[in-house]
Structure formats: structure tokens, C-alpha cells
Structure 1
Amino acid sequence: MAQFTFGPVELYLVGLEGDRPSAGVLEALGNLLDTEVVRLLDFMIITKDTDGEVTVTEIEYESEDYGFGGADMAAVGIAGDDDIEQLAELVPPGSSAALVVLELTWAKKLSERFAASGAEVLSVERIPAPVVNGLVDAVSSMNEN
């Protein structure tokens, strides 16, 4: 069977209230990690001051300060400078966001099985949850009329 070191990776930029993830954000992430559906590869805080100056804090080095207490991050630095720069543009001045890099472990297993069967994943498209839900709501309301 084909063996991959990593599966597909997703980068989530999550706007924060303040400059740290709330307990709810940490709990949601922790619950998902506990199920082993995803694996945390990297986590950083991107802060943009009111003048537009960006500061990036790698949580690996300050995990206790940010409520992660020793979380194991499997590939710190996988989000490159270009990724960070591009995503930092989405952070409004005077606010912060968490950049969470997650490996989709379920998709790694699926990819390994596809590869072992001789198949090749040619493309994967992700539709964001708000878009899917908006579309389903629109279709449902049309069907009600």
C-alpha cells in the first residue's frame, strides 16, 4: 500500500476577538484533534496594528502563553512566508487572526488507498460551509414556494 508522510493540508485563517484565541476556539480545535480526524501541523497568530504593520507569532514557541500547553505541531513552518503575507492582507488593521494549518488525516488514508489501487487524485475542490449552507437555504426556500 502507498504510504504518505502527510495527507492534504488546509490553512484556516480565523478572525479573533482580541489578540489570542478564545477558550471556545481552543476547545473546538482540541475536540477535533482528539478525534484524530485532523492533525495540527502549525499554528500562528497574525496581528495587524492600526498602521498596517504585521506581527506573526509562532505558537510553537509560546504555546503555554496561548493556551496550547505543549500541543504537538507536526510541521511548524509549513505555511510559507508567501502564504502568511497573502493571508495577512485579509486581517483588518487593529485586529488579529489565527492561522491554523491542519492535515486532513482521513483524506491521507483515502489518498493512500487511491494510490495503492493505481488511481490518481487529479483535483479536489472545497466549497466553504457558508456557501454550501446559503445555497441549500436558497434551494429549500425555492422548493417551498
Structure 2
Amino acid sequence: MTDIDNRPDDELGPIDYLVVEFPAGQTRLTGDAAAELVALAESNTIRVLDLMVVHKDEDGSIDVDEFDDIDDVGELAQIEATLAEVLAEQDLIDIAAAMEPGSAAAVLVWENTWAAPFALAVRRAGAQLVASGRIPTQALIASMTNASMTNEGA
């Protein structure tokens, strides 16, 4: 375990999640994706808090594989010690509602440990987070492309 595993809760960095839906027949984080996730965790850029696979049957029913239930996790076994299992049953039901019938999805929850010192400094200054969000990569690229084309025409 590293020092980040022993920090008080008020010293945590921002927490994020993502859901990655797999094509039919592919239900595992392997290869480059697994290697990148492990590298991020090993460098203390992130701390993986939860990792599950949700299966949505054709009839809409769901089945969940928790990390410790998954056979042969390969190099992802290195992150097992950091798991806090933060996802609740309702979270998984909500995630499954967005999935296609017959599909599977990996659900990843992580702490942005790289941002923890900044977040702690902000809290100590009496400030609080009032909004957070993501800009889709495709939207940013489109915006930059449009701005570039506008500047070329000027």
C-alpha cells in the first residue's frame, strides 16, 4: 500500500467514473486498455476505487461481475488492493438502463490522486466545488477545427 491509501477522507482528490460498453462477445478490459489503467494506478495518477462488469440480457435483466469474481484479470490484479467497492445496486441499475440489451459494460470508479493536493488546498481556503463536468473530445476537436477554419478565412 502507498501513502495515499492511508489519507483521511477530506484529503481525497476528485472522484470520477466511466462506463465502457463492449461490442457483443467482448466483456473484458485487456490489452492496451488494461495496461494503461495499471500504469495510471502505479504512477499514483489515479486510485481505482471500483471496477465491475455489468451484463444486460436481451430481456433487460442484469448480472454483475465484481472484480474479485472475474477469472483471469491479468495485470489488473495489481489494482485489487485499492478497491473500495463504492458502487451501490441502484448505481448498477441506472447504468444498465443506458445499455443495449445483450451487451456488457465495464464500470470504473477512480480517485484523481494527482488533484488531491489542489483539492485539499481549496477546501482549506474555505472554498467548495460547485460544478464539474466533461467536454467530449469530439466536441473539443470540432470546436478547434471550426476556430481554425474561421481564423484562416479572416
Question: In 2, are the aligned partners of 1:43 and 1:60 still within 8 Å (CA)?
Answer: no
Of 131, 136, 143, the residue aligned with 2:144 is 136
Of 15, 35, 47, the residue aligned with 1:9 is 15
- Report the equivalent of 1:73: 82
Q: TM-score, normalised by structure 1?
A: 0.83
Structure 2: any 5+ residue segments left out of the alignment? 1-7
The structure with more helix, counted as a fraction of residues: 2
RMSD between aligned alpha carbons? 2.2
Question: In 2, are the aligned partners of 1:13 and 1:100 still within 8 Å (CA)?
Answer: yes
Q: TM-score, normalised by structure 2?
A: 0.79
Task: Work out the CA distance in 1 between the residues paired with 2:95 and 2:110.
Answer: 16
- Paired positions, count: 142
Structure 1: any 5+ residue segments left out of the alignment? none
Q: Percent identity?
A: 27
Structure 1 residue 5 displacement after superposition: 4.7
Code of the aligned partner of 1:12: L
Structure 1 residue 121 displacement after superposition: 2.7
Moved over 3 A (4+): none
Code of the aligned partner of 1:115: R
Structure 1 residue 136 displacement after superposition: 1.9
